[in-house]
Amino acid sequence: MNILIVYAHPEPHSLNGALKDFSVQHLQAQGHTVQVSDLYAMDWKAPIDATDSLAAPVGPHFHPSLDSKHAYANGVQSPDIAREQDKLRWADTVILQFPLWWFSMPAILKGWIDRVYAYGFAYGVGEHSDQRWGERYGQGAMSGKRAMLVVTTGGWESHYSPRGINGPIDDVLFPIQHGVLHYPGFDVLPPFVVYRTSRMDEARFADVRSALGQRLDTLATTAPIPYRKQNMGDYMIPALTLRDEIAPGQSGYAVHLDASQ
């Protein structure tokens, strides 16, 4: 397989750095081809701005989505953006690896999503009609590809448990797994989460590495999170609310899981 690891940690000599190096070596040893977008090493520009298009703004002023659309459609995106899109097209599986900072990804990785996920590439794709509302949430450019998060956090597993104070980890990661990965079509594998990173010794690191290795060995076979697809009948269009007869009376993130999948 072709595997892209998008990696965001400022220090190579870190738990994240060690896990990334392990993943690369482990995957290569299994015969996979691996590319790493090491965002800090690349000095990735995080903020969306007018320089993301090589063309002048299409309107009187810079408009993030309309200028992204124009630049993508006309091949005048900033080359750093186009290169990352090429890596995504090349990849069969994408791993986003990062420390959970303030219950989300580090800014530099958010900036990779914000900029690489262009209008026409990751959103604004396909027809909008009474039957379809764009190719998204289960359809789109990343259809047929798999994605997985590898996340570290200082918090304890109990802090992210169903009644934990940080919120359940599945809910904390929902905006990324559902909103960033399922949206353009990825099949999203359950995340690999390392808790309580300040308590890491050699023995525990060996266990973590072993558990990660097992997840890497089963990238092609692990069942994805069964997120519902938008345009397959479960949702009203264009309201995009779940039909009354599905999970009746329930609400929240969990209704977007289809247990029958």
Which residues of this chain interact with a second copy, rule CB under 8 A?
10-14, 40, 44, 46-50, 60-65, 99, 101-108, 110-111, 113-114, 117, 137, 154, 156, 158-159, 161-168, 171-172, 174-176, 178-180, 230, 235, 238-242, 247, 250-256
Taken in order 233, 225, 175, 82, the sign of the CA dihedral is: negative
Residue 146: which H helix or E strand, with range? strand 146-152
* Residue 80 or 114 having the CB closest to a second copy: 114
Supply 249's token pair.
């009376």
* Residue 75 or 162 having the CB closest to a second copy: 162
Supply 163's token pair.
């009644």
Q: Are 92 and 120 in contact (CB under 8 A)?
A: no
The distance of closest approach from Cβ of residue 32 to a second copy in the complex, given in angstroms and rounded to an integer, is 28
CA 95 to each of CA 20, 38, 83, 191, 249: distance values in angstroms, whole numbers, following the listed order: 10, 12, 17, 10, 35
Residue type for position 51: T
* Residue 175 or 210 having the CB closest to a second copy: 175
Q: Are 52 and 81 in contact (CB under 8 A)?
A: yes
The distance of closest approach from Cβ of residue 30 to a second copy in the complex, given in angstroms and rounded to an integer, is 29
* Residue 221 or 250 having the CB closest to a second copy: 250
* Residue 198 or 260 having the CB closest to a second copy: 198
Q: How many residues does the chain have?
A: 261
Q: Is the peptide bond prior to 191 cis by the omega test (within 30 degrees of 0)? A: no
The distance of closest approach from Cβ of residue 127 to a second copy in the complex, given in angstroms and rounded to an integer, is 17
Give the DSSP letter of residue 229: P
The distance of closest approach from Cβ of residue 170 to a second copy in the complex, given in angstroms and rounded to an integer, is 9
* Residue 11 or 201 having the CB closest to a second copy: 11
The distance of closest approach from Cβ of residue 163 to a second copy in the complex, given in angstroms and rounded to an integer, is 4
The distance of closest approach from Cβ of residue 116 to a second copy in the complex, given in angstroms and rounded to an integer, is 11
- Residue 56 has a CB neighbour count (10 Å cut-off) of 11
Cα gap 198→193, rounded to integer Å: 14
The distance of closest approach from Cβ of residue 72 to a second copy in the complex, given in angstroms and rounded to an integer, is 16
The distance of closest approach from Cβ of residue 119 to a second copy in the complex, given in angstroms and rounded to an integer, is 11
Cα gap 96→150, rounded to integer Å: 6
Q: Are 220 and 1 in contact (CB under 8 A)?
A: yes
Angle, nearest 10°, between helix axes 202-217 and 15-29?
A: 40
* Residue 191 or 216 having the CB closest to a second copy: 191
* Residue 107 or 193 having the CB closest to a second copy: 107
